Chains A and B, each alone.
Chain A
Amino acid sequence: MAAVFQGLGAATAFSVSNSLDSRKFLVSSRKSLSARKASFPVVRSDGSVVPRSNARVRRAEQLITNAVATKPDSSAASTTSKPGHELLLFEALREGLEEEMDRDPHVCVMGEDVGHYGGSYKVTKGLADKYGDLRVLDTPIAENSFTGMGIGAAMTGLRPIIEGMNMGFLLLAFNQISNNCGMLHYTSGGQFKIPVVIRGPGGVGRQLGAEHSQRLESYFQSIPGIQMVACSTPYNAKGLMKAAIRSENPVILFEHVLLYNLKERIPDEEYICSLEEAEMVRPGEHVTILTYSRMRYHVMQAAKTLVNKGYDPEVIDIRSLKPFDLYTIGNSVKKTHRVLIVEECMRTGGIGASLTAAITENFHDYLDAPIVCLSSQDVPTPYAGTLEEWTVVQPAQIVTAVEKLCQ
């Protein structure tokens, strides 16, 4: 156990073992890149340096060809020989949660329908039977007060995980999250820690309507004192859940309604992802594409097309929405000199807007072109399927934007 956690201090998020067989190997779509120059080593986000080899063995990447639906592992032929186990994203969250609850009796869950019902997205299924009603607490529909309750309990030393059935409902608890959760450590001069995790699904789903398709990361991002992370794969979902629970700071973990059924093989051994690190999804050279949560899959879909057209995008899943991992992002900008941000937040005041400002402030000299930010339209999410599709960034738009950027 100690070996795995040492990784935390040395800034790595990923599994320490070098047997990355647990990750899918991506070979087929890279054949067209043989002409590329590879004169410098790739710096992975775990800090280790992977010298480019002619064999082009790409490690630690994952290409999900379809944005949402579950696809069986493409190299499933040798499943039995691969280490690790396969599961869906919500099961990964549950695994992380269960491991942490086993490890520390102070960890408890509270939210609507998390207990007997098992969670509206099955993240907490079975936990109430195992840990009892007090540790997996079914609350009445009173977001303001149960969020406040979780924060008050955290002041005494408990580590509650507060689930919002949909992130949008947490708007009712905004006062508690902003004033009490974010600021108490500061206004008490460091006396109180608020080690809560506030999690829940957000984002645009399948015709859920305007009020159930909100992206709260843009509202919460200026609250001082909180950390925000967004998970996108089963691997980082489990890792970020565990890291968030162990963190002494209040962490808001953004999940996405449409990603709960993603399947992936994750390691058997215990691991944690760093809360402040971004994930290098696909190293490249021509353009840096920054994204998070569900848009990662739209980007990867667009990347396939781009690669066929001869571009080499570098895709980074920023994961940490507050604070931004400007180290990884900066290294990428210095390499490619072009940035495209693809996000699901609204155009105005979203994560993309802040990220654009941060990159411009810090890396302006390295940019060859203005930063392009693709976000959702500034409209309430409509119900009609076609309209809903148009509010959110689609892969075709990403391809067009990259082509334009790389001219």
Chain B
Amino acid sequence: MRSANQIERRRQRRRRRRRRILSSGLYNTVMAASTADSWSWFPALALGVSFLKCLMINSYHSTDFEVHRNWLAITHSLPVSKWYHESTSEWTLDYPPLFAWFEYGLSHVAQHFDKKMLVVQNLGYASPATVLFQRLSVIATDVVFIYAVRECCRSVREEKGSKDLLVRPYFILAALLLWNYGLLIVDHIHFQYNGFLCGILLLSVARHLQGRHLEGAFLFAVLLNLKHIYLYIAPAYGIFLLRSYCFTKDNTDGSVRWSSLSLVRLIALGSIVISVCALSFGPFIAMGQLPQVLSRLFPFKRGLCHAYWAPNIWALYNVVDKALSVGFLRCLVVCALCSFMFGWHVHEKAILMAILPLSVLAVESREDAGIFLMLATTGHYSLFPLLFTATEMPTKVLLILLFTLYSFTSLKKLFRGFLLNTLEVTYLLGLIAVEIICEVVYPLLPWKQTLPFVTLLAKSVYCSLGVSYSFIRLYLSILRPTDKPKEL
């Protein structure tokens, strides 16, 4: 028999338990976050940057906004056979077919926001509902990027015996990737879908790191069919997959054992890539429109081939034998940088293709962290001219300060010590001087009227020094003889 006291105490305990369950959800994740093994901080980081992106909905957007609105209109209003022939607007469809299908899918959601944006003739249409829809679509597709970052963080190596959450490599990597300045500025202000595309790239990389090569290959094939600019890094991919997946065994000295070619694997890889391309280009080949599509994708075919394939292949010739020991990711970054340095009709946004994978390397090795700081800071600063309006000026300055300060302090804390020598630091401080001279001093000088492009030139030249320097250092890191095979 229980006494009244015991019954009362039991009742109170039950009440308290109920209360705790109600409040436990979010709180438990908080408590668990302080033990660095749980991943509850990840949604907080992702949500924070998504909030920031929502606030940028009404900022300046470039002509890329109209480009994508036009493509929504084309894919929605016209039959497939007309997609690559349509040229009412100057912004013709010049991405591969899979991206066109992506826009087609988006257009079905768009019609609930504002039907008028889907009319091809409405050139320059930018009603508030249109802006809201387009911005939200970028923010929503970024979920692919967020998932990819999570997968990359899972694959990051770390030393044992730490430490506070804020100093863990995967936390720093997540922060550097999720809050990457370049992506924020280019995607959510200037307007593009790089987050979505880089997400697929990073996911593919993560799958390779996890040993799921077929999935990685599939994802990369999809990526190529979404935006053909990734052809720049296709050689790195192709050679790596051939080398490490199709040749199943190595010789004792690490070089290729040609006899171990696995036909099954080669056929599997080949069929995945071919089927994705078939799915994407199939309808157009059937309609006999392949030449037209290719002419849209590669507007000046001959020049492009000569200009960018040559240095690319030349660069890779040096690493073809060492691909596995050098590391797939490093190869990828060098490839991307090669294309940036020597490619034809390169846009400054292409630097993101190098910076993002380099972030993964940066949290694992001290030297890479130093290179990353140089490349990221210079590369991000080179994006400044993309946002030239007065209203966006404080945003871009504050955001770059935020990202740069964070990357310096967190990587310094991770590797316990200075990562850059005096000359490098002086160069980076010089970026501030360049900005002040170009924005404040030069407009007061009389030459501004006659030579208005001097500021852009000065910034480009100054940044090119930093980017070239980083490129050379990365390249040398490949050529150096390695004693042990790295996993990346």
User: Do A and B interact?
Assistant: no
CB within 8 Å of B: which residues of A? none
